Amino acid sequence: MRHLLSAADLDAGTANALLDTAERLKEALLGREVRKLPTLRGRTVVTMFYESSTRTRASFEIAGKWMSADVVNVSASGSAVSKGESLRDTALTLAAMGTDCVILRHPASGAAHRMSEWVGAHVVNAGDGMHEHPTQALLDAATLRERLGSLEGRRVTIVGDVLHSRVARSNVALLHTLGARVHLVAPPTLLPTGVTAWPVTIGHDLDAALPGSDAVMTLRVQEERMHGGFFPSAREYAIGYGLSEPRAARLPEHAVVLHPGPMLRGMEISAAVADSSRAAITSQVSNGVHVRMAVLYHLLASQEEES
Amino acid sequence: MTSRPGAGAAGAAGQRELLSAADVARTVARMAHEIIEGTAPAEAVLLGIPSRGIPLARRLAARIGEFSGTAAAVGTLDITLYRDDLRRRPTRPLEPTALPVGGVDDAVVVLVDDVLFSGRTVRAALDALRDHGRPRVVQLAVLVDRGHRELPIRADYVGKNLPTSRDEEIAVLLSETDDRDAVVIRRSQQ
Q: How confident is the model at residue A216 (pLDDT cuts 50, 70, 90)?
A: very high
B131-175 tens-digit pLDDT: 999 999 999 999 999 999 999 999 999 999 999 999 999 999 999
Q: How many CB atoms lie within 10 A of CB A23?
A: 19
- The SS3 of residue B11 is coil
pLDDT of residue B8 exceeding 70: no
In angstroms, rounded to a whole number, what is the distance separating the alpha carbons of residues A70 and A46? Answer: 8
* Residues B64 and B33 sit within 8 Å (Cβ to Cβ): no
pLDDT of residue A52 exceeding 90: no
Q: What is the third-level CATH fold of B23-87+94-165?
A: Rossmann fold (3.40.50)
Share of chain B above pLDDT 70, in %: 92
Q: How confident is the model at residue A225 (pLDDT cuts 50, 70, 90)?
A: confident
pLDDT of residue B189 exceeding 80: no
* Residues B173 and B51 sit within 8 Å (Cβ to Cβ): no
Q: Where are the domains of chain A?
A: 7-132+286-300, 134-284
Nearest to B127 among A17, A27, A38 (CB): A38
In angstroms, rounded to a whole number, what is the distance separating the alpha carbons of residues A78 and A87? Answer: 14
Distance from CA of A74 to the nearest CA of B (A): 27
A25: closest chain B residue by CA: B94
Share of chain B above pLDDT 90, in %: 83
Q: pLDDT value at position B13?
A: 61
Residues of B in contact with A66 (CB under 8 A): none
Asked if A24's CB is within 8 angstroms of B91's CB, the reply is no
Kindly report the CATH number that applies to the domain delimited by A7-132+286-300: 3.40.50.1370
Q: How confident is the model at residue A48 (pLDDT cuts 50, 70, 90)?
A: very high
Mean pLDDT of all residues in A223-233:
82
Q: pLDDT value at position A229?
A: 79
Q: Greater confidence, A228 or A43?
A: A43
Judged by average pLDDT, the poorest of A21-25, A87-91, A114-118, B26-30 is: A87-91
Element (H, E) at A55: helix A55-66
Residues of B in contact with A36 (CB under 8 A): 131
Q: pLDDT value at position A299?
A: 96
* Residues A206 and A240 sit within 8 Å (Cβ to Cβ): yes
Mean pLDDT of all residues in A272-298:
97
Nearest to A302 among B87, B97, B99 (CB): B87
Q: pLDDT value at position A223?
A: 83
A179-190 tens-digit pLDDT: 999 999 999 999
Mean pLDDT of all residues in A139-157:
97
Interstrand relation of B44-48 and B73-76 (parallel, antiparallel or unpaired): parallel
Chain A residue set in contact with B, beta carbons under 8 Å: 1, 17, 20-21, 24-25, 27-28, 31-34, 36-39, 67, 297-298, 301-304
- The SS3 of residue A304 is coil
Residues of B in contact with A67 (CB under 8 A): 81
Judged by average pLDDT, the poorest of A28-32, B42-46, B135-139 is: A28-32
Asked if B82's CB is within 8 angstroms of A28's CB, the reply is no
Q: pLDDT value at position B9?
A: 46
In angstroms, rounded to a whole number, what is the distance separating the alpha carbons of residues B48 and B114? Answer: 9
pTM for the whole structure: 0.91
Asked if A20's CB is within 8 angstroms of B86's CB, the reply is no
Nearest to B95 among A24, A32, A39 (CB): A24
Mean pLDDT of all residues in A232-251:
93
Nearest to B91 among A37, A38, A302 (CB): A302
Sign of CA dihedral A243, A248, A252, A257: positive
Q: pLDDT value at position A78?
A: 74
Please give the C-alpha separations between residue B50 and each of A81, B80, B182, in angstroms, as whole numbers.
Answer: 48, 9, 18
In angstroms, rounded to a whole number, what is the distance separating the alpha carbons of residues A64 and A288? Answer: 12
Kindly report the CATH number that applies to the domain delimited by A134-284: 3.40.50.1370
Asked if A31's CB is within 8 angstroms of B103's CB, the reply is yes
Q: How confident is the model at residue A286 (pLDDT cuts 50, 70, 90)?
A: very high
Share of chain A above pLDDT 90, in %: 83
Asked if B97's CB is within 8 angstroms of A24's CB, the reply is yes
A26: closest chain B residue by CA: B97
Distance from CA of B93 to the nearest CA of A (A): 7
B89: closest chain A residue by CA: A303
Asked if B89's CB is within 8 angstroms of A302's CB, the reply is yes
User: Which of B79, B80, B91, B126 is the best residue to mutate to test the A interface, defined by the most A CB atoms within 10 Å of its own CB?
Assistant: B91
Residues of B in contact with A293 (CB under 8 A): none
* Residues B172 and B117 sit within 8 Å (Cβ to Cβ): no
A264-282 tens-digit pLDDT: 999 999 999 999 999 999 9
Residues of B in contact with A20 (CB under 8 A): 93-94
Predicted-complex ipTM score: 0.83
